[in-house]
Structure 1
Amino acid sequence: MGIDKDLISRQQARDLAKKASAAQKIWAQASQEEVDRVVEAAVKAGADAAQKLAEMAVEETCMGTVQDKVVKNLLATKILGDYIRDMRTVGVVNEDQEKKIVEIAEPVGTIAGITPTTNPTSTVLYKAIIALKSRNAIVFSPHPRAVRCSCEAARTVYEAAVKAGAPEGIIGCMDTPTMEGTRELMTYPDVSFILATGGTSLVHAAYSSGKPAIGVGPGNVPVYIERTADVEKAVRYIILSKTFDNGTVCASEQHVVTERVIEDVVVEALKENGAYFLDSSEKKKVEEVVVRNGGVNPKVVGQAATKIAEMAGIKVPVGTKVLIANLSQVGPHEPLSGEKLCPVLGFYTVDNWVEACELCISLLQYMGIGHTLAIHSQNEAVVMEFALKKPISRIVWNSPSTHGAVGLTTGLAPALTLSCGAMGGSSTADNVTPYHLLNIKRLCAGIKDPEELNFGSATGTLQRQDLEAIVREVLRRSPDKCLQEVESIVWETWKRLQESSVK
């Protein structure tokens, strides 16, 4: 039966990719006005369906909360639509009159869109809209545990796009996804580019497909509360961020790092905001539930703190929002020091910002390199030290990490693909936008004649320009000197220029 399903999945991937490729060739000829009209229709349809899709996602995946998934769906439609509305993606998109360079946008082609179970509908909406805006086609391979809601999200924007003038087949979604089918989609000749959001092995498969790809790895986000921080505000933001959709966003905080001089204040503020600190025996029980086989147990992903406590067999107060474990090390011997896509936080205490800096680097290097770090501080010098030294693509300052990283509370581009840069194995460190799905051609006119170029004398032999320089020097310094004196000046100048050219 498994083999039959793989065969069906592979054939579906080929069929959808062929249809999308044919549609993309038509869509590539669309004008900016046509593109904008289609995108507006897709944005509106997705936003109108935000509530329905959120409910479907929670029902099918049993992860997260409806109200927060609505926000993510609106981020992927209305907020994204506002951000890209005036973005030019057709023909000439930029012109530099001084340098005489004209930039011309070309779509990359047909995209394989790999989407996760944690953000199933919002990721589909977002990737479909940025693909349409950049005149690309896209075929989705959704997570097997989120097929129904993912396909419905794809159908919603697809039907609106076609009704507004996009060609049929421009968006496709596999309803029988398997790993074999996903590999077939990623490697199929008609697919030009891959946008992969999912587990580490899947992202690695995307990068190994032989196609250009942008992927998103794990985000083991440390949040540092520095001694000058507004502690009450910082803690409130951290709890808000960590509980958003029950921690399913990869940019959510995973560890609180703070200093001993404010530790008591931070701990008290966390407790007042719904955090429950585990004792040593409770910590062990939570470890066994949250971490399985070196990774996060899928059964805890996107679950409420109270449910995780119940699964671990411990009692916590009613209204508990986050479980916190005191940690002292980083690595596999400290199971909760990795990424946890649920409302569970690690807690570390250090003496000063220098120790905090090193600890945060260790956490990122263990799991989360290149992704995101959050910091709460009023000391701009310390913040800049963190920004300069951390191996991450986003430093969220005095804002909830989840909301800040995806562009809800910061000026970053609204996005649900938060790439991790070369340090994280990706080709970009940006929040992905339609521009990342374009090839930019450059028409460049000459702005100087080759005869005007002067590279000096690489061989030590004086050129005409050198002799002219000598004459100018003589005229400047010795307009009334005798011949012998002029010859002396020329000789000195010649030696100086020759020594300079040799260097």
Structure 2
Amino acid sequence: MNAQDGITPEIAEVDHIVARVRAAQKAYEASGSQALYDKAALAVGWAIMESTRNRALAELAVETTGLGNVPDKITKNHRKTLGLLRDIAEVKTCGIISDDPTTGITEIARPIGVIGAVVPSTNPAATPANNIINALKGGNAIVVAPSPKGVTSCETLLSFVHAEFDKLGLDRDLVLMIPAPGSKAKTQHLMETVDRVICTGSQNNVHRAQSCGTPAVAVGAGNVTVIVDETADLTAAVAKIAASKCFDNATSCSSENSVIVVDTVYDAFVAAMAAEGGALVPASDSDGIIARLWPDGRLNRSVIAQDADKMLAALGMSDKVPEGTKFLAVEIDGIGPDHPLSGEKLSRVLALYRAADFEEAKSVASRILAHQGAGHSVGIHTSDDARAVALGRDLPTCRVIVNQAHTFATGGSFTNGLPFSLSMGCGSWGGNSIDTNLHWRHFVQTTKIVRETPLNEPRLDEVFGDYWAEAGQ
């Protein structure tokens, strides 16, 4: 195979890898059992959760990507994997998974085949591990396509996975990756060659995944907005917002980007925020923040996902805020392309809006989502649950996180019912085919055995009786 045949060496390399993975998957499925699939998933879980390896992966991720911090990546690798393993522990993904005598339908779980997973540099170990576990749980094999900065982390993760596979006699070719150097051409060809694409990352990658010709599950952009109303427990709300905003230096798509505070508690919120290390930047100084955060129209790499001291230095704020400042809250009232603070910032910087009341706060949140982040999630700190329901009824969002630290809650938590995941579907609002957290069900398909049942055909008057009474025949 050569360029004269229309096949470049890098495309041939991808074809070779996919062929190996496809052969491994066929053998895995042929000998498949729930016990085998569960064992393989647990092997990957231990590959990333074992404490020495977890720390090595976290340190490597920060070193090679320059994003986030080691302690929080360790926590993320551990909790996201543990939560996922809890979620799937009793899930049946092999053989008959339902048998309904009323409908006469028996449902059999079947693997999809070879999964191609495009993963971001923000979570270069946790996200691929999550995808690999779900893939193997469903009887699939998987090829991972990391971002350029995530290659080393992914290589190391796979070395740990393969070491666990060797203990169990599992085929290493069940889990492979596109080797360095990565390229758009390699990733594109992978997406066109596999049986399903799972894509988490930039919206450019998402668009390419959803137009590659292979069935794809991709997720939308985050730009989390949180409302704090006059009924909220301010101390608890601010503590949760601060912890969430600062976690892993705001690398998560679920990090708060804007907070909208109702006027009657605004000053108290600012005071509580100061106690949690949040420094207020008045609107009069916002232009200086914008100029340094987007010096050339792009987010400043010296600011995004950095520790507080580095972030403050890059923004020229080190000597303008109290000692111990953990994040900045910049007062703003504008929304849209001409107001970049209203969008995602990937840094320890919040946009802070002031609203007259809850209805105005809801309107501001809706306008922010219309600008960026539609479908992903919003949050609210309140004692009035009806207001959370109102957000879910009226805003273009798939999740309303109530009285929780948003980063820890959106992707599943041990204190809420969402499935653990690092990838959140955003529905039609975000241009996605799913409106749920990515989970095991997206990695299997089913065959239905359909049997004849007794006749169940209604009479016309049973269907149209009420309609005829109102509208006539």
Query: TM-score scaled to structure 2, two decimals?
Result: 0.91
User: Share of identical aligned residues, percent?
Assistant: 32
SS at match of 1:371: coil
Contact 1:125–1:157, Cα closer than 8 Å, also in 2: no
SS at match of 2:435: coil
In structure 1, what residue type is equivalent to 2:382?
Answer: S
Counterpart among 234, 238, 245 of residue 237 in structure 2 = 234
SS at match of 1:16: helix
Contact 1:158–1:170, Cα closer than 8 Å, also in 2: no
Contact 2:226–2:380, Cα closer than 8 Å, also in 1: yes
User: What is the distance in 2 between the residues matched to 1:499 and 1:433?
Assistant: 46
Contact 2:98–2:107, Cα closer than 8 Å, also in 1: yes
Tell which structure's C-alpha radius of gyration is larger: 1
SS at match of 1:140: strand
Alignment of 1:115-134 (within 5 A): 115-134=119-138
Q: Unaligned 5+ residue runs, structure 2?
A: 463-467
1:8 to partner: Cα distance: 5.3
The corresponding residue for 2:412 is 407
Contact 1:8–1:176, Cα closer than 8 Å, also in 2: no
Q: 1:162 to 1:205 in 2, by over 3 A?
A: farther
Q: 1:502 to 1:379 in 2, by over 3 A?
A: closer
Counterpart among 46, 52, 58 of residue 44 in structure 1 = 46
Alignment of 1:73-88 (within 5 A): 73-88=77-92
1:282 to partner: Cα distance: 4.1
Aligned length: 457
User: What is the distance in 2 between the residues matched to 1:7 and 1:303?
Assistant: 39
The corresponding residue for 1:16 is 17
User: What is the distance in 1 between the residues matched to 2:306 and 2:416?
Assistant: 27
Q: 1:93 to 1:158 in 2, by over 3 A?
A: farther
Q: 1:12 to 1:260 in 2, by over 3 A?
A: same
In structure 2, what residue type is equivalent to 1:418?
Answer: M
Counterpart among 398, 403, 407 of residue 403 in structure 2 = 398
User: What is the distance in 2 between the residues matched to 1:326 and 1:156?
Assistant: 46
Contact 1:274–1:321, Cα closer than 8 Å, also in 2: yes
User: What is the distance in 2 between the residues matched to 1:368 and 1:273?
Assistant: 27
CA deviations 1:402-424 (Å, max 9, x no partner) are 00011124221111111111221
* Alignment of 1:453 onto 2:454: no
Counterpart among 80, 85, 92 of residue 96 in structure 2 = 92
More moved, 69-78 vs 343-352: 69-78
The corresponding residue for 2:209 is 206
The corresponding residue for 1:482 is none
Contact 1:302–1:342, Cα closer than 8 Å, also in 2: yes
CA deviations 1:43-63 (Å, max 9, x no partner) are 122211211111111111121
* Alignment of 1:434 onto 2:440: yes
The corresponding residue for 1:54 is 58
User: What is the distance in 2 between the residues matched to 1:266 and 1:300?
Assistant: 25
SS at match of 2:213: coil
Alignment of 1:276-295 (within 5 A): 276-280=279-283, 282-291=285-294, 294-295=297-298
The corresponding residue for 2:465 is none
1:295 to partner: Cα distance: 4.6
Counterpart among 378, 397, 414 of residue 373 in structure 1 = 378
1:14 to partner: Cα distance: 2.1
User: What is the distance in 2 between the residues matched to 1:222 and 1:362?
Assistant: 10
Q: 1:501 to 1:112 in 2, by over 3 A?
A: same
* Alignment of 1:143 onto 2:147: yes
The corresponding residue for 1:421 is 427
User: What is the distance in 2 between the residues matched to 1:501 and 1:337?
Assistant: 49
User: What is the distance in 2 between the residues matched to 1:217 and 1:290?
Assistant: 23
Q: Unaligned 5+ residue runs, structure 1?
A: 459-497
